[in-house]
Amino acid sequence: MLPSAAFLIEGGCDCRAVRYRMESAPLYVHCCHCRWCQRESGSAFALNALIEADRVANLGEPPEQVNTPSQSGAGQLIARCPKCKVAVWSHYAGAGPVVKFVRVGTLDNPDLLPPDIHIFTASKQPWVVLPAGVPSVPEYYERERYWPQESLERRQAVLPLIEAYQAAKAGGR
């Protein structure tokens, strides 16, 4: 992964109506092999770059937020282009609008963000061969064990926002 200070990458949807710029390196990149991601993406896995929402600049039309079921039962909001319907990122219930899970395939140069970890490999397609040297876990993982220190510190900085979001959500039930 590139250092945060040297990172600036753009992406968007197929029709180019929704455009965005990641203004720093992501916290971490997941390659998720769970059946929900397989179904939602229509592929063998979903490749998501986790990044603080305020580090993603909107350069085009705002995406529409589509409430979608998730395995946890809490759902997720998928940001889709209102015209071509391509999903550009998700907000999962845990961190809500504070963290974006940017779809790496929507980047202009997705080669810059290979997976840092393969997760939910217990349900991966049997023909997918995981690369040597990249961590893989059968389900989810302990963040402190795998994330670099800089990413853990960045997460710590937004944790009060995540906790405030969770408290507001719990209060609105």
Q: Per-domain residue ranges for the chain? A: 4-171
Q: What is the pLDDT of residue 3?
A: 47
Interatomic CA distance for residues 130 and 10, integer angstroms: 27
Interatomic CA distance for residues 115 and 31, integer angstroms: 6
Q: Which pTM value belongs to this model?
A: 0.92
- The answer to which of 21-25, 36-40, 130-134 has the lowest mean pLDDT is 36-40
Average pLDDT over residues 12-39: 96
Q: What is the pLDDT of residue 6?
A: 60
Q: Which of 108, 109, 154 is nearest to 4 (CA)?
A: 154
Superfamily of domain 4-171, CATH level 4: glutathione-dependent formaldehyde- activating enzyme (gfa) (3.90.1590.10)
User: Higher confidence at residue 76 or residue 121?
Assistant: 121
User: Higher confidence at residue 74 or residue 78?
Assistant: 78
